[in-house]
Structure 1
């Protein structure tokens, strides 16, 4: 879900089924109408997805959840398992077994996704088949503990702070007592909320309902954020119509993707709300509902400020539809957009009962220092070379210098993209999405799910089969950039090399069913 596609600036024409390049924008492709069969309504609704990927993905995610009960971001003290024989699943050899079960389930889920991708490329699966598979795969995840993350405990803590009258942009979870703060990751214990007022309102509402019931709190938080998934799915056909992609491919890239299911839903992470608001808001702007679309994208920024980077490009879409000289059109559209932005942000702040402190605390993730951030990684590499040559030196000056250079690169690329998008239309949306990807590449701190911001829009462009293979590679890396418990895995190099070797085989398998040549007879293509 996280690789840049090969983009075309001209409308995509018909392509061979194997390449999967058609720009058809219907969710159900006529050639894929499901035959009548024993499943009746399910086949008619789902588009008759392939049974093997459907069931394999479901099995994989069930196993993943079972492993996650022991190896995921579990509670420090579990009121359900504690005092029972099943508590051994979280300690010692039981924990090690749970980790292995988790990765086995994840491997099955990724393989099912690759098999589904084959069906998409060969047009055996249309949009509804992909969607029904993805939704079925999601079912076991809904009631799981946090997977590969502990973030929902921080969300509940920030909601509780606001609920108790504290300013979540001043105080950290450590001023609370009880199970909520006990389960927040140590790194974020004294960190004020880096999220916008709309998300504070959501977290406050969830905390108000669930109190200190952590299990119910995680599940309800996940369900609240799945509103973003609904909006995203609803926006995909329209975005494909404007941006030139196929809904089946877009759904495979962004919804059926294990990054979506494991990280955004399994995490769960509030980036899911960002993705939904951003995609639907962009579609509304493309459909000439400019003010409403900009309001929705502003709502995305009121969850995570980075989504606001798309707004200048949406202003260009609006400006291109006005009359008059170019500068006049841009100024008028920008003025109207700013008015909508301010009004929406004021409404979100009133709903959350907070001020503008989040504009300062939004930089809190920069405290993270690891090489998933490219500038941070470059700084660490240069520091390692200097330390090897000249002896021990402090690493931060090198990291800060690389981060500063990355900021300059981002600003340069951003200005170039914006100026080249002044004609508006779908091209401005594509370039806005690319800027979101560039932002993550240049960011001083990166978490795996940040790439989903730009992919919310890039999923709907025309993808080549090679681009889809790149999605598999990058997605596999992003999934395992953390261990199931949520701790970073980026310095376990042997582990990463092994995983990426498997990812290469999976990517090749998208187009070549027997990549290792293990079968004695040729496989029909």
Structure 2
């Protein structure tokens, strides 16, 4: 397809997907109760089919493959860039990211490296392996929700049979699916935790999620706060300690320099974030350094304020162990200077665990708006 046609097709798909999700949720509120197992099966088949297509929506998969190839060759993706790698892998990477080292955690690097070990000199095979693995995690998360969510039908509509989420996460092949899957496992265990070793496992799962993307630290905060408020200091300490030790062990495999690329990435500002206008005019008036400093100080404050509003909103039957992580995850998507549609994966997974009113509808619209703003139309691929 030409660029105009492909952009039009993907834009229409995003809009229709958003409309469809909102319609299904509204029908469910009015009493529609489809078979939860049927929703899961249809969603699983769709996800597996989409995983066998060319990645659509972003060029991140090419970066994943390049970082994996670097790791598979024994290199350090936190130092070596795709441009230095060269060859067929570097050719696929978007020009804006070709000279950027990996900003993902060690777990993500090993995940990518395993796919590149399969693909060898064939980037298409590496990307295909990543797509299939990502789809498998998506389906696995859907099955866990089917078995553990308070309302399996609603969970199926929000995750397994959600066309918007399948388009963003599965068609794009993003690592955020893995973060969401680990988060669901952690919260499932935290909800039924009765012994001290359960806390250690929960903390280890949080650490592994942070080893994919450090933003998963919001999950750890969201799990710890209710424990601290109730005076359960020991479980909170065990979870935090296990998460910290897991993360230290993961990054110890590469060293502290693996965190350096995150510092540069933390200063990025995307459209349509709340800070895009401030960054544009602030840079002209105050300079880039001062503007970046102001944004880095203010956005966490805005995020906490939004999380407070979301947490105090109407959340019928929301378990304490899931409500705060959801509020933090959604507030982060809205307040962070750099926000992408696939960043909503954690919020979607947590929302599927319990009933939400308007926040879920707002999450649907926010995901669609971000997807429309960051949509490659499937171009940039020369397989």
TM-score normalized by the length of structure 1 = 0.62
Q: Pick from 133, 138, 146 the counterpart of residue 55 of structure 2.
A: 146
Matched, 1:405 2:298: yes
Paired with 1:163 and 1:111, the residues of 2 have a C-alpha distance of 42
Matched, 1:369 2:278: no
Paired with 1:151 and 1:300, the residues of 2 have a C-alpha distance of 19
Partner of 2:28: 120
Are the equivalent residues in 1 in contact too, given 2:340–2:374 (CA < 8 A)?
Answer: no
1:420-473, Cα deviation, whole Å (9 max, x unpaired)? xxxxx9314311221122223332211121122223212322133x55544443
Q: Which ranges in structure 2 are unaligned for 5 or more consecutive residues?
A: 312-317
Aligned residues: 368
The offset of 1:144, in angstroms, is 1.2
After the TM superposition, which of the residue ranges 206-215 and 394-403 deviates more from structure 2? 394-403
Q: Which ranges in structure 1 are unaligned for 5 or more consecutive residues?
A: 1-88, 419-424, 488-525
Q: What does 1:295-334 correspond to in 2, within 5 Å?
A: 295-316=204-225, 326=231, 329-330=232-233, 332-334=234-236
Q: Secondary structure at the match of 2:256?
A: coil
Change (3 A) 1:315 1:473: closer
Paired with 2:373 and 2:355, the residues of 1 have a C-alpha distance of 28
Q: Pick from 345, 352, 364 the counterpart of residue 459 of structure 1.
A: 352
Q: CA RMSD in A?
A: 3.3
The offset of 1:184, in angstroms, is 0.8
Are the equivalent residues in 2 in contact too, given 1:301–1:308 (CA < 8 A)?
Answer: yes
Change (3 A) 1:233 1:191: same
The offset of 1:199, in angstroms, is 0.8
Q: Pick from 171, 175, 178 the counterpart of residue 84 of structure 2.
A: 175
Q: What does 1:72-91 correspond to in 2, within 5 Å?
A: 89=1
Partner of 1:205: 114
Partner of 1:190: 99
Hey, which of these two has a bigger chunk of helix by percent? 2
Partner of 1:45: none
1:298-325, Cα deviation, whole Å (9 max, x unpaired)? 211110011122213323566689xxxx
Matched, 1:337 2:229: no
Matched, 1:97 2:5: yes
The offset of 1:95, in angstroms, is 4.2
Q: Pick from 308, 323, 329 the counterpart of residue 436 of structure 1.
A: 329
Partner of 1:165: 74
Q: Secondary structure at the match of 2:179?
A: helix
Are the equivalent residues in 2 in contact too, given 1:270–1:303 (CA < 8 A)?
Answer: yes
Partner of 2:370: 478
Are the equivalent residues in 1 in contact too, given 2:224–2:236 (CA < 8 A)?
Answer: yes
TM-score normalized by the length of structure 2 = 0.83
Partner of 1:255: 160
